[in-house]
Amino acid sequence: MKKHFIKVVLSFAIIVGSFSSCKNSSSSSSKNVSRATGWKINAKEGGFQYNSDFKEQVTPPGTVFIEGGTFTKGKVQDDIMHDWNNTPTQQHVQSFYMDETEVTNVMYLEYLDYLKSVYPPENPNYKNIYHGALPDTLVWRNRLGFNETMTNSYLRHPAYAEYPVVGVNWVQASQYAEWRTDRVNEAMLEKEGYLAQDAKYKVLNGEIGGTFSTEAYLNNPESVYGGQIDSLQGKQKKDSINSFAKRSSGIIMPEYRLPTETEWEYAAQALIGSREYNNYRGRKKYPWEGDYTRNGQRVGRGDQLANFKQAKGDYGGIAGWSDDGADITAEVKSYKPNDFGLYDMAGNVSEWVADVYRPIVDDEVSDFNYYRGNIFLKKAIGEDGKVNVLQSDEIVYDTLPNGKIVALNLPGEIEMVAVTEEETYLRTNFDSSDNRGYRDGDPGSSRFFERFSDESDNRKMYDSPKHKVERDSTGKILRQYDTSNYRTSLINDEVRVYKGGSWRDRAFWLDPAQRRYLPQYMATDDVGFRCAMSRVGSKSKTKNKTIRHKKAK
């Protein structure tokens, strides 16, 4: 009886052990088995291919992580003018990445040198690609000031290499961000073995006649590098299943872009370093703690915390210990970063953001990732069912209102077109391609719309002059000015917001909530920019998330 009992117990233990072993075996390989169908994933024999080992987004080059959250946007601390230019609203921002410094001269020169090498301006087809990207160095000139040193040297002299680039308009800044996206993804694909080692340099050296575009690679990889992608594939080519990376591979990064006004203001305030009630409700005056522009801590007491104009005729202070260390711009990282690790979010140069300017923020429509400026596009599809990849003779140029010619696309990029009524039919979230003027002068913005919609005199809410500037076949600028007597505003859909005080500004403009605007084609000697990138996946980094879970337990 005793032996029989022992045998039963042993048999039960073996069964339980086998069940446990099977369970562990299944669990250990579950990431490569579909929970929906039970099919294998990433199997050598074929089937579905996904990145089941993806942990989290890699921090993009030059950026820092900005964990999203809620804050009071537009709460200016010193509203001296009492102008109708801002509305305090509570907004929520998703997590994103932002450049730790402004884009510097040497960073922008890398862009210019790439364009000059790949699209030599000696070629008539490419001439305006390079010239259209050049910063306007004449912004330094002043009728009653001697600034020729900056005009001649600021952009290219190595003494200014790590100073923020200026003279760049909003259009140029946006195009730089697009170019940077392709270069970073090109390097990432090379690192992961999808492109051959140093393939990117063969473009610069003229060894191949095409270039790399992220969207072209994702949608029609055979078109990349002028159709020579086969000879430039890396070690992943050995595996025919994974010869090309896809978005599902988790390697391709989202695009670099200009930050939205909401993102920029949230990042500048950096409430993550202070949980005080007044700061949370929008009472923090500067990117740093306190209401003063000088350092009150024991180490460095009295030092200025930003580069700004301290008084009339005083751009830095009296030479010596009380000086802020700069008369024009300063080298990046000359002052302490804010609690997000961002440098110069007040002072040095003001910065372009992505938004189209309007005096108020319409939080009734959106209090999540607020942004005015959306133009929804789609990829142009050819008769063969594939995306249209633009060739060298299909470059589209645009003449800006100041006569500057810029390339709207580069060879090898995908042609983008506006969405049509077919895509917007019966949608509730958008009904048109261009949404820059949404609820601002259209029928949905006012029950008195008819008063502003008299076509005889073109009256509406924001009725700016409509000048026409173009060039003839000889390159001569043809200007046709709007002489209407019914124009009521300078605000239109080509006017963009810029934020933050600069070396030319008084402390009033250092408040992150302050905002100003310029036409997107204009450039100055005190406006620069930095790039941002959206975060995909979790709100916070895995490490932080794990710590919170442990604390909860």
Return the pLDDT at 514.
93
- Tens digit of pLDDT for each residue in 391-429? 877 888 888 888 889 998 888 999 999 999 889 998 989
Name the pTM for this structure: 0.89
Return the pLDDT at 292.
82
Q: How many CB atoms lie within 10 A of CB 553?
A: 5
Does the structure show a pLDDT above 50 at 268? Answer: yes
Q: Report in angstroms the alpha-carbon separations of 489 from 341, 357, 465.
A: 39, 12, 8
Tell me the percentage of the chain whose pLDDT exceeds 90: 49
Average pLDDT value for the chain: 85
Query: Stretch 259-285: mean pLDDT, rounded?
Result: 79
Lowest mean pLDDT among 65-74, 149-158, 369-378, 468-477: 468-477
- Tens digit of pLDDT for each residue in 276-333? 555 555 567 899 887 888 877 777 777 888 999 988 999 988 887 667 889 999 999 9
Does the structure show a pLDDT above 70 at 544? Answer: no
Query: Stretch 138-156: mean pLDDT, rounded?
Result: 96
Element (H, E) at 99: strand 96-99
Query: Cα–Cα distance between 306 and 38 in angstroms, integer?
Result: 59
Of 273 and 258, more confident: 258
Is residue 103 a contact partner of residue 166, using CB atoms and an 8 Å limit? Answer: no
Query: Cα–Cα distance between 390 and 553 in angstroms, integer?
Result: 56
- Tens digit of pLDDT for each residue in 99-140? 999 999 999 999 999 999 999 999 988 989 999 999 999 999
* Position 209 confidence tier, pLDDT thresholds 50, 70, 90: confident
Return the pLDDT at 96.
97
Three-class DSSP category at 188: helix
Query: Stretch 144-163: mean pLDDT, rounded?
Result: 96
Does the structure show a pLDDT above 80 at 245? Answer: yes
DSSP line for 55-82? -SPPPPTTEEEE--EEEEET--S--SS-
* Residues linked to residue 355 through DSSP beta bridges, in sequence order: none
Return the pLDDT at 529.
98
Closest among 336, 282, 331 to 305, alpha carbons compared: 336
Lowest mean pLDDT among 379-383, 466-470, 495-499: 466-470
Token pair listed for 58: 């890699």
Query: Cα–Cα distance between 166 and 102 in angstroms, integer?
Result: 10
* Position 77 confidence tier, pLDDT thresholds 50, 70, 90: confident
Domain 63-433+500-534 sits in CATH 3.90.1580.10: yes
Is residue 194 a contact partner of residue 251, using CB atoms and an 8 Å limit? Answer: yes
- Domain segments of the chain: what residues? 63-433+500-534, 442-492
Is residue 550 a contact partner of residue 111, using CB atoms and an 8 Å limit? Answer: no
Query: Cα–Cα distance between 271 and 513 in angstroms, integer?
Result: 13
* Position 15 confidence tier, pLDDT thresholds 50, 70, 90: very low
- Tens digit of pLDDT for each residue in 172-189? 999 999 999 999 999 999
Does the structure show a pLDDT above 70 at 275? Answer: no
Query: Cα–Cα distance between 39 and 397 in angstroms, integer?
Result: 50
Cα angle 337, 341, 344; round to 5 = 40
Return the pLDDT at 472.
82
Query: Stretch 498-512: mean pLDDT, rounded?
Result: 94
